[in-house]
A and B are shown apart, each in its own frame.
Chain A
Amino acid sequence: DIQMTQSPSSLSATVGDRVTITCQASQDIRQYLNWYQQKPGEAPKPLIFDALNLQTGVPPRFSGGGSETEFTLTINGLQPEDIATYYCQQYYILPLSFGGGTKVEIK
């Protein structure tokens, strides 16, 4: 099974900051990597698919990058509405697996 490790597990940043979250896969997953955003009390929402493609309706301040085993999610200009937990997910092989999540808070 492929293990997905996110770092940091939580972070606190100021509105307007650039925030970067890292996701590491235990083996090469090419670019079969997705990102989801989950706000408190809500279901997850799709954010980025295939490592770098923004889902329709996602603000362009979000961007994804990486390949093989190292991936990033970047928020350029953190906004109050971005307070959430972010999860990466691989689909290179079953079982599908999620990272442990990164909780983003405002300072």
Chain B
Amino acid sequence: EVHLVESGGDLVQPGRSLRLSCAASGFSFDDYAMHWVRQAPGKGLEWISTVNWNSGFTAYADSVKGRFTISRDNAKNSVFLQMKSLRPEDTAIYYCAKDVHYGSGSFIDFWGHGTLVTVSS
């Protein structure tokens, strides 16, 4: 059974950094692209970032480009999101998600339960 477990969400002040982690199990992790998708309180889904199977390709939404960095460690079945220069508008539940393919992103067939990031002074 596929499991995606996010961690690292916290209350942080504007301008600070935070690192989210996602531990994956139940599938061959290094065969699939992984995503981070966020959802602000009461709002819709927003794609944030994608990393392909071997970290050879990454992509970011304009809203986080230059501030967030996605990475993965296939030996540890984990994907990460390093967030810098956090803003109040980054407040959201952050979901780790698995793609059905290895490449640049297509269909997400599994989602984690999410971790809450709150940016406030």
A95→B59 CA distance, assembly (Å): 8
- The answer on a CB contact under 8 Å between B105 and A101 is no
User: Is B113 positioned at the interface, with any CB of A under 8 Å from its CB?
Assistant: yes
- 23 CB-based A-B contacts, threshold 8 Å: A1-B62, A32-B106, A34-B107, A34-B108, A43-B114, A44-B45, A44-B111, A45-B111, A46-B109, A46-B110, A50-B107, A85-B44, A87-B45, A89-B47, A91-B105, A91-B106, A95-B47, A95-B59, A95-B61, A96-B47, A96-B50, A98-B44, A99-B44
Q: Closest chain A residue to B59 by CB distance?
A: A94
A residues with CB within 8 A of B: 1, 32, 34, 36, 38, 43-46, 49-50, 55, 85, 87, 89, 91, 94-101
State A38–B37 Cα separation when bound (angstroms): 13
Interface size on B, residues (CB 8 A): 24
| Chain A contacts for B35, CB-based, 8 A | 96
Q: Which residues of B contact A87 (CB under 8 A)?
A: 44-45
**What B residues does A32 contact at CB under 8 A?**
106
Chain B neighbourhood of A100, CB < 8 A? 44
B109→A55 contact, CB < 8 A? yes
Closest B residue by C-beta to A49: B107
Q: CB-CB contacts of B56-78 with A at 8 A, as 1s and 0s?
A: 00011110000000000000000
- Chain B nearest CB from A71 CB (Å) reads 14
A interface, over-half SS: loop
Contact residue among A43, A55, A96, A99 (Cβ-Cβ distance under 8 Å from B105): A96
Contacts of A55 in B (CB 8 A): 109
Known: A94-B50, A95-B59. A46 touches B108 (CB 8 A): yes
Residue of A nearest to B99 (CB): A91
Scan B22-62; emit 1 where CB is below 8 A from any A CB, else 0.
Answer: 00000000000001010000001111001000000001111
Known: A43-B114, A98-B44. 17 other contacts (CB 8 A): A1-B62, A32-B106, A36-B45, A43-B111, A43-B113, A44-B37, A44-B95, A45-B111, A49-B107, A89-B45, A89-B47, A91-B105, A91-B106, A94-B59, A94-B104, A97-B47, A101-B44
